[in-house]
Amino acid sequence: MPTAFITGITGQDGRHLAEFLHGRGYRVCGMMKGQHNPRAEMLRDELPFVEVVPGDLNDLTSLVKAIEQVQPDEFYNLGAISFVAMSFNQAELTANVTGLGVLRALEAVRIVGGPQNNPIRFYQASSSEMFGKVREVPQNELTPFHPRSPYGVAKVFGHHITVNYRESYGLYACSGILFNHEGPKRGLEFVTRKITNTAARIKLGVDRELVLGNLDAKRDWGYAGDYVKAMWLMLQQDQPDDYVIATGETHSVEEFLELTFEQLGMGDWRPYVRQDPKFFRPAEVDLLIGDPTKAREQLGWRPEVGFRELVAMMVEHDLAYESARLRR
Ligand code: G4F
């Protein structure tokens, strides 16, 4: 039975990946920090098969101990401060966890190593935020980076240090440059889930308005459940490499809004939405659209859920979720 070790196990991607790997017969271990992590209970209920291992991306010793204990075949580094807006307020923390955390994880993998004939394979969750103020459209693996947030800058470091450890020490280390990926497990602070959840609450009479920032930003939005398969595929190849994972389509925040209200049968979104400067960012990423050709040709990966289906899935989930909360 192969063993996977996942950092960021309680996040959207960690939970999708744990389910995916469990379905493929993996032993799944997830790293969690803190003595009384409030998310431990949620994890136990949702994914009882996950073995929780203590550790912290800010603490190299804890990472070494965790890997020694687990002896993983595959290490998925999904842990990060992942909310771009927050990274402007906690830039140093973001640099430490999202940037230096990758270096610590790689170093732990290098130190522990794994058996000669079965070295640990490493996946780094890189991000389309690295493209930032984009230099070309669409963005591919060779597009230069121009990050626009402390988060994006930290991810650029994580990406380059992953490539550097591959080239310097021969580690099987891959970087997946994932464009935005969403779904019902998405945190409520991200714009897609904020829209579907608040719109459902307005429909049910719980909330009266939806307060947002920039509606013009465009993103290449896919379904998180499709994207974790790409992570796994990257670690099953003969040679490690880096891949863009995206749908190849872009839509504005306004389009997402429009479709959400349409699918809830609420008509025009404008009477319900107010814009507030506090949700605008000091520097914005205006347009992201990825070119996933390399992943399609070399990994045989392609997204299965389209934009309309994604919005419908999230709207349906949030309507059911908020209705159930009302009944309680
Ligand atoms: O949903 P968002 O917060 O996602 P963002 O910033 O694109 O980052 C996500 O995707 C990245 C991949 O490119 C990941 F690396 C990262 O970890 C994260 O998962 O914001 C999307 C857009 C932005 O342009 C933002 O300015 O929506 C705009 N927006 C407008 N109003 C808002 C809001 N975003 C949020 N979170 N909340 C608003 O009220």
25 and 161 housed in the same domain: yes
Query: Looking at the 3D structure of the chain, how many domains does it have?
Result: 2
CA-CA distance, 159 to 126, in Å (whole number)? 6
User: For the CA atoms of the chain, what is the radius of gyration?
Assistant: 20
Mean pLDDT throughout 9-33?
98
> Is 253:192 a contact under the CB 8 Å cutoff?
no
Mean pLDDT throughout 111-140?
93
115 pLDDT higher than 90: no
| Res 118: pLDDT | 80
CA-CA distance, 123 to 21, in Å (whole number)? 14
* pLDDT tier at 298, thresholds 50, 70, 90: very high
CA-CA distance, 43 to 15, in Å (whole number)? 8
CA-CA distance, 187 to 189, in Å (whole number)? 5
Tens-digit pLDDT profile for residues 30-64: 999 988 888 999 999 999 999 999 999 999 999 99
Question: Considering only CA atoms, which residue is closest to atom 26 of ligand 1?
Answer: 214
Give the residue numbers spanning the domain of 266.
187-219+249-289+301-327
Active site residue 151: yes
271 and 163 housed in the same domain: no
| Res 204: pLDDT | 98
Give the CATH number of the domain where residue 17 resides: 3.40.50.720
Tens-digit pLDDT profile for residues 154-178: 999 999 999 999 999 999 999 999 9
Active site residue 74: no
| Res 34: pLDDT | 84
| Res 141: pLDDT | 98
197 and 129 housed in the same domain: no
Active site residue 258: no
Which residue in the list 87, 127, 149, 175 is annotated as catalytic?
Answer: 127
Question: Considering only CA atoms, which residue is closest to atom 12 of ligand 1?
Answer: 180
Beta pairing class for 181-182 and 74-77: unpaired
Pocket of ligand 1 (CB under 6 A): 82, 84-85, 127-129, 179-180, 189-192, 194, 212-214, 217, 219, 253, 279, 281, 284-285, 288
Residue 60 lies in a domain: yes
Question: Considering only CA atoms, which residue is closest to atom 10 of ligand 1?
Answer: 180
Q: Write down the mean pLDDT value for the chain.
A: 97
pTM value is 0.98
116 pLDDT higher than 80: no
Q: H helices of the chain, where? A: 12-23, 40-46, 60-70, 84-89, 91-94, 101-112, 150-169, 191-203, 224-234, 253-263, 293-294, 307-327
Give the atom of ligand 1 at the shortest distance from the alpha carbon of 82. Answer: 17
CA-CA distance, 235 to 230, in Å (whole number)? 9
| Res 190: pLDDT | 98
